[in-house]
């Protein structure tokens, strides 16, 4: 079995203004994906402006010197494409997916809003309203919606990862036009951007077009970033939230090293061996055999500088939350103390191999992963070697990492329980 | 991996940014070719060969689903869904754990699910494991064990899932909407079951459902990816031998009751800080000849980000993060709805704006430019929707399931482009009924009840 399942080729270059460009050619479908990714995210926000990076992303769709409010969306859609953006802790990524004969249109649109933004008070007020509704829709008005923000607040206390990307209501409401323009000037500079273009392109022609639209954009005024100091959890801690839900959730979480670190790969084996699939240890024992959990999962929130590993169970009515927390903690200990059998270890390797091959299916996904790999690790072709890294992981590595970050360290337990008891 | 610099940087100062660039020549878009046949046993087979990656998907679709629960009655709603779930929970030779273990070990997936119109079972794996996964799927389809203990387990799981789902306002408003819009027809049933129906469902009923519908003439199979038609047919003929080969009998479908006058249904969602709104009425079945015209009309009205309703509610008023209108077209009937989540105090204003936009579309013919933009959007994103072989398969299967001709998608772009402002206007008049709507809202009833009375007869729904 070969360790390398992907072999994608990238062409890379820098413009004199510092814009880093990555091209990936695949002419099998008549589509193109244009993706400028800016190295700014919610971790760059100062106190009193939590949520600004994301709100600003909305303002990027509200018009620039030559593009009207909603003009970006409208132009892309009437060209037969779609576009969107997402803000993370470490970066803000925009993308336009279009028929390949519309490549130049996307470059024109993206370069115009990198060059100059047109922000009015009316448009800002409108988007503040929209973002406040977005916050309700993704967080406040859905069951267990505040879980992620509670993890962050407790596991990353005092760091720049403490507040979730959507931010704080008061801060969002107080954002001004001047602050928005400053944000553009401080972070939306060509040397702070990675422009990835993938799909049905011709490399030389695309280079010329990039130069035509982005070559004349001047560097802006990048500012000193907030320092992101992440400290270990000082003690085992827990928190219980009463929510408008009918089933309880118990979750135990741990602070872990950042994504793409050696430990991140080791822990991928751990999460898949103990939870998620039906044949995983926790599922077999407590969902299937004992019927205590409705479901059980183990996930990682992977950020550049650190991450959170979460094991969480949704409890069947009648299952005690303390008992559930004990089960989860005991399972982690048992993992370290007992042997990983060959079959379950091979199972994870097979799952990762499958996942690696399917990565190549969707152009947009290749672009997202590649810009991130360049921005965070300065390693554009990491996508080709990540499965190799998974293959090299040994059982001993996994156990050692589990000991170091899960057994020997403090953790945080977060419970959600029904406000009103089920009759 | 080539890392290269541009040697010569040409000056770009002369660029006039005020001019939007012209687009290049569009490439011809053709729907990927696919192979189709019928086996001697009556199974419809579609093969979409794509050798780019060593992956194979097999999809099995039985032409039955939640709508068929109606033959057993509302007391047993959820029967199709639970029967489907039970398939992968044990065969005559494999226990539930063995099935999960074998599939997981290969890094593959074997999934099953159902909706109102169909039951789906599918496998997805690397080519090298395809034989093994296909064998398990065939076993699950041909030899399910319907064990009592497994049935009891999934019933309990289902009841807990229903509890958990009812915490979500959107789920509740969707459910109320469905039961009122489709009143009197099998589509008004809750296909996932309810907390009163699930306990009534037994392995005997599941076996009965299975015997009635799991027959070769009722099955469509799509094989997708790194596989040839010859390989696919051979595989099906050798591994999928049904004991029961009788012809499937289908039930008569009763149409939903006509809605006259708008009716409002509110559900008090504890702690809601937004209203989950769904408004609309009956629509069309999937193979209605006006489907394409309505697709264009709906896209203009509320189908995408640039549409009238979204621009009004989000970009102009700031009421919501987003809204969407859609025609949900099923095999035997369908619905039209607009859904959104908005702040409590603008719930009535939002519904008034939606009604206003619908009435405007019926009254004033859409502009030529606006229509052109919508057509460009729909024809442009069409190839984007065909990026993966599985996406292509899904489209082809929708043709088979809804008795549409095989060359449907070859004419799709042309038919979109042929839609005229006149046709849109006629379709709006014929298919949109702003005065006869079901208005369903899950939210804070105390805050919104009074303002909602203006829309028609109002009921507060207690139980979901």
CATH of the domain at B96: 3.30.830.10
Judge whether B221 lies within some domain: yes
Same-domain pairing of B55 and B188: yes
- Dihedral angle at the C-alpha atoms of A20, A24, A25, A27, nearest 10 degrees? -120
Same-domain pairing of B64 and B195: yes
**Nearest to A357, CA basis, from B286, B150, B130, B138:** B130
Same-domain pairing of B40 and B179: yes
Helix (H) or strand (E) segment spanning residue B340: strand B334-343
Indicate the residue of B100, B319, B376 with minimum beta-carbon distance to A79: B376
Dihedral sign from CA coordinates of B299, B305, B308, B309: positive
Domain assignment of residue A269, given as a range = 237-418
Q: Strand ranges (DSSP E) for B249-316?
A: 263-268, 274-282
Looking at the structure of chain B, the number of domains it has is: 2
Tokens (6 digits) for A79? 């060209």
Domain assignment of residue B366, given as a range = 263-461
CB contact under 8 A, B169 and A141: yes
Q: Which of B97, B373, B380 should be substituted to probe chain A, the one whose Cβ sees the most A Cβ atoms within 10 Å?
A: B380
Burial class (CB in 10 A: 0-12, 13-18, 19+), A235: exposed
Q: Which of B345, B377, B394 should be substituted to probe chain A, the one whose Cβ sees the most A Cβ atoms within 10 Å?
A: B377
Same-domain pairing of A128 and A242: no
The domain boundary residue, chosen from B239, B272, B307: B239
Same-domain pairing of B149 and B41: yes
For position A421, what pLDDT does the model report? 61
Judge whether A48 lies within some domain: yes
Judge whether A423 lies within some domain: no
Same-domain pairing of B51 and B196: yes
For position A349, what pLDDT does the model report? 95
**Nearest to B151, CA basis, from B84, B234, B226, B229:** B84
- Compute the average pLDDT of residues A268-292: 97
Same-domain pairing of A249 and A395: yes
Judge whether A393 lies within some domain: yes
Token pair 């199974």: residue: B43
Using alpha carbons only, give the angle A306, A307, A312 rounded to the nearest 5 degrees.
165
Q: B156 to each of A291, B86, B144, B175, how far by Cα in Å? A: 9, 13, 20, 21
CB contact under 8 A, A294 and B160: yes
Judge whether B5 lies within some domain: no
Which residues does residue A64 pair with via DSSP β-bridges, in sequence order? Answer: A67, A117
The domain boundary residue, chosen from B205, B239, B273: B239
Same-domain pairing of B233 and B273: no
Same-domain pairing of A264 and A361: yes
Chains A, B: CB pairs < 8 Å: 239
Same-domain pairing of A291 and A144: no
Per-residue pLDDT band at B449 (split at 50, 70, 90): very high
Same-domain pairing of B342 and B397: yes
Looking at the predicted structure, is the pLDDT value of residue A423 above 80? no
Looking at the predicted structure, is the pLDDT value of residue B12 above 70? no
Same-domain pairing of A301 and A374: yes
For position B104, what pLDDT does the model report? 97
Helix A262-274 to helix A321-337 angle (10° resolution) is: 120
Same-domain pairing of A269 and A412: yes
Judge whether B18 lies within some domain: no
Same-domain pairing of A90 and A193: yes
Other CB atoms within 10 Å distance of the CB of residue B462: 7
Same-domain pairing of B211 and B275: no
**Nearest to B340, CA basis, from B293, B384, B307:** B307
Exposure class string for B331-359: b at 16+ Cβ within 10 A, else e: bbbbbbbbbbbbbbebbbebbebbbebbe
- Compute the average pLDDT of residues A49-68: 97
Query: Does B24 contact A at CB distance below 8 Å?
Result: yes
Cβ–Cβ under 8 Å, residues A306 and A277: no
Same-domain pairing of A142 and A43: yes
Same-domain pairing of A193 and A98: yes
Same-domain pairing of A72 and A19: yes
CA distance A411 to chain B (A): 27
Looking at the predicted structure, is the pLDDT value of residue B196 above 90? yes
Q: List, as ranges, residues 378-397 from B with C-beta within 8 Å of A.
A: 378-384, 386-388
- What whole-number distance in Å separates Cα of residue B72 and Cα of residue B79? 9
CB contact under 8 A, B55 and A12: no
- Compute the average pLDDT of residues B322-341: 98
Token pair 């987003």: residue: B322
Judge whether A225 lies within some domain: no
Residues in chain A with CB shorter than 8 Å from the CB of B305 are: 73, 77
**H helix runs in B262-302, sequence order:** 291-298
- What whole-number distance in Å separates Cα of residue A418 and Cα of residue A422? 8
Looking at the predicted structure, is the pLDDT value of residue A145 above 90? yes
Q: pLDDT exceeding 90 applies to what percent of chain B?
A: 93
Judge whether A284 lies within some domain: yes
> Where is average pLDDT lowest: A314-323, A384-393, A410-419, B229-238?
A384-393
**Nearest to A325, CA basis, from A246, A247, A248, A217:** A248
Per-residue pLDDT band at A1 (split at 50, 70, 90): very low
Judge whether B14 lies within some domain: no
**H helix runs in A158-299, sequence order:** 169-173, 177-187, 203-214, 262-274, 281-282
Token pair 């389809």: residue: B141
Contacts of B78 (CB under 8 A, 6+ apart): B66, B69, B158, B190, B191, B192, B193, B194, B197, B198, B201
Contacts of A301 (CB under 8 A, 6+ apart): A148, A151, A152, A307, A308, A310
For position A83, what pLDDT does the model report? 97
Residues in chain B with CB shorter than 8 Å from the CB of A314 are: 164
Q: List, as ranges, residues 124-153 from B with C-beta within 8 Å of A.
A: 125-126, 129, 153
Q: What is the pTM of this model?
A: 0.94
Looking at the structure of chain A, the number of domains it has is: 2
Q: Beta B44-49 vs B219-225: how paired, if at all? A: parallel
Other CB atoms within 10 Å distance of the CB of residue A336: 15
Same-domain pairing of B401 and B332: yes
Looking at the predicted structure, is the pLDDT value of residue B464 above 80? no
Judge whether A339 lies within some domain: yes
Token pair 């193109």: residue: A32
Per-residue pLDDT band at A11 (split at 50, 70, 90): very high
The domain boundary residue, chosen from A170, A199, A214: A214
Same-domain pairing of B224 and B120: yes
Q: List, as ranges, residues 250-279 from B with C-beta within 8 Å of A.
A: 269-274
Same-domain pairing of B225 and B329: no
Q: What is the ipTM of this complex?
A: 0.93
Question: Listing from the earlier edge strand, what are the strands of the sheet with B119-126?
Answer: B35-38, B44-49, B219-225, B55-62, B119-126, B109-114
- What's the CATH code of the domain at A411? 3.30.830.10
Indicate the residue of A29, A137, A277 with minimum beta-carbon distance to B321: A137
Same-domain pairing of B285 and B227: no
- Dihedral angle at the C-alpha atoms of B355, B360, B362, B365, nearest 10 degrees? -160
Same-domain pairing of A210 and A326: no
Q: What is the pLDDT of residues B200-257, one digit of tens each?
A: 999 999 999 999 999 999 999 999 999 999 999 999 999 999 999 999 999 999 999 9
């Amino acid at each position: 079995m070969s360790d390398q399942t992907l072999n994608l080729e990238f062409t890379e270059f820098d413009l004199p203004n510092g814009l880093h460009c990555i091209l990936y050619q695949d002419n099998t479908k008549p589509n193109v994906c244009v993706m400028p990714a800016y190295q700014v995210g919610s971790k760059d926000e100062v106190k009193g402006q939590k949520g600004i990076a994301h709100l600003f992303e909305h303002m990027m769709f509200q018009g620039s010197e030559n593009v009207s409010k909603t003009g970006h969306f409208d132009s892309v859609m009437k060209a037969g494409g779609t576009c969107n953006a997402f803000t993370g802790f470490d970066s803000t990524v925009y993308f336009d997916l279009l028929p390949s004969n519309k490549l130049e249109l996307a470059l024109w649109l993206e370069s115009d809003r990198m060059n100059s933004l047109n922000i009015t008070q009316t448009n800002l007020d409108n988007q503040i309203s929209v973002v406040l509704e977005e916050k309700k829709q993704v967080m406040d008005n859905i069951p267990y919606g505040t879980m992620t923000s509670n993890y962050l607040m407790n596991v990353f206390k005092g760091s720049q990862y403490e507040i979730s990307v959507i931010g704080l209501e008061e801060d969002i409401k107080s954002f001004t036009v001047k602050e928005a323009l400053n944000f553009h000037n401080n972070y939306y500079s060509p040397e702070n951007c990675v422009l990835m273009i993938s799909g049905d392109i011709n490399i030389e022609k695309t280079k010329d077009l990039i130069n035509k639209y982005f070559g004349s954009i001047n560097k802006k005024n990048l500012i000193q970033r907030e320092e992101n100091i992440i400290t270990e959890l000082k003690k085992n801690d827990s928190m219980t939230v009463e929510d408008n839900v009918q089933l309880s959730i118990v979750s135990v979480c741990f602070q872990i090293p950042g994504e793409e670190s050696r430990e991140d790969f080791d822990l991928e084996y751990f999460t898949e061996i103990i939870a998620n699939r039906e044949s995983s240890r926790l599922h077999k024992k407590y969902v299937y055999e004992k019927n205590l959990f409705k479901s059980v999962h183990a996930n990682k929130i992977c950020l550049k500088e650190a991450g959170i590993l979460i094991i969480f169970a949704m409890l069947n009515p009648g299952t005690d939350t303390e008992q559930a927390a004990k089960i989860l903690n005991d399972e982690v200990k048992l993992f370290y103390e007992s042997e990983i059998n060959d079959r379950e270890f091979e199972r994870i390797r097979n799952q990762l191999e499958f996942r690696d091959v399917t990565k190549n299916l969707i152009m947009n996904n290749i672009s997202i992963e590649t810009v991130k790999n360049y921005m965070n690790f300065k390693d554009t072709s990491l996508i080709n070697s990540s499965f190799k890294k998974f293959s090299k992981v040994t059982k001993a590595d996994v156990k050692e990492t589990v000991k170091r970050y899960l057994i020997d360290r403090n953790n945080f337990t977060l419970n959600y329980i029904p406000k009103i008891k089920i009759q | 991996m080539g890392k290269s610099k541009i040697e010569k940087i040409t000056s770009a100062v002369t660029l006039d940014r005020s001019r939007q660039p012209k687009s290049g020549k569009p490439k011809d878009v053709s729907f990927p070719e696919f192979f189709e046949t019928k086996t001697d046993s009556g199974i419809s087979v579609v093969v979409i060969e794509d050798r780019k990656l060593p992956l194979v998907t097999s999809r099995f679709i039985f032409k039955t689903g939640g709508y068929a629960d109606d033959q057993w009655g509302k007391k047993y709603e959820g029967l199709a869904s639970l029967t489907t779930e039970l398939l992968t929970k044990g065969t005559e030779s494999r226990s539930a754990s063995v099935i999960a273990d074998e599939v997981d070990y290969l890094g593959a997936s074997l999934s099953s699910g159902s909706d109102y119109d169909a039951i789906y079972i599918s496998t997805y794996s690397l080519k090298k494991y395809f034989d093994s996964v296909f064998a398990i799927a065939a076993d699950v389809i041909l030899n399910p064990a319907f064990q009592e203990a497994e049935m009891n387990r999934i019933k309990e799981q289902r009841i807990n899932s229903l509890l958990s789902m009812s915490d979500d306002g959107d789920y509740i408003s969707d459910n109320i909407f469905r039961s009122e819009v489709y009143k009197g027809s099998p589509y008004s049933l809750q296909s996932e079951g309810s907390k009163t129906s699930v306990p009534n469902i037994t392995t005997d009923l599941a076996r009965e459902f299975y015997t009635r519908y799991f027959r070769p003439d009722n099955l469509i199979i799509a094989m997708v990816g790194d596989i040839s038609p010859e390989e696919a047919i051979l595989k099906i003929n050798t591994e999928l031998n049904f004991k029961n080969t009788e012809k499937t009998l289908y039930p008569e479908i009763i149409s939903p009751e006509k809605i006259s006058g708008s009716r409002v249904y509110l559900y008090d969602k504890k702690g809601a800080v937004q209203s989950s709104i769904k408004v609309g009425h009956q629509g069309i079945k999937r193979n209605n000849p006006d489907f394409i015209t309505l697709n264009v009309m709906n896209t203009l009205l509320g189908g995408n980000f640039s549409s009238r309703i979204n621009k009004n509610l989000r970009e102009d008023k700031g009421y919501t993060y987003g809204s969407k209108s859609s025609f949900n077209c099923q095999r035997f009937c369908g619905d039209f709805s607009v859904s959104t989540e908005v702040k409590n105090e603008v719930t009535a204003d939002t519904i008034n704006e939606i009604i206003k936009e619908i009435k405007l579309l019926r009254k004033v013919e859409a502009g030529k430019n606006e229509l052109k933009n919508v057509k460009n959007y729909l024809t442009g994103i069409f190839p984007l929707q065909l990026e993966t072989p599985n996406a292509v398969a899904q489209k082809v299967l929708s043709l088979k399931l809804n008795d549409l001709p095989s060359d449907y998608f070859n004419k799709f772009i042309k038919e979109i482009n042929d839609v005229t402002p006149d046709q849109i206007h006629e379709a709006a008049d014929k298919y949109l009924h702003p005065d006869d709507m079901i208005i369903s809202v899950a939210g804070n009833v105390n805050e919104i009840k009074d303002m909602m009375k203006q829309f028609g007869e109002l009921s507060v729904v207690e139980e979901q």
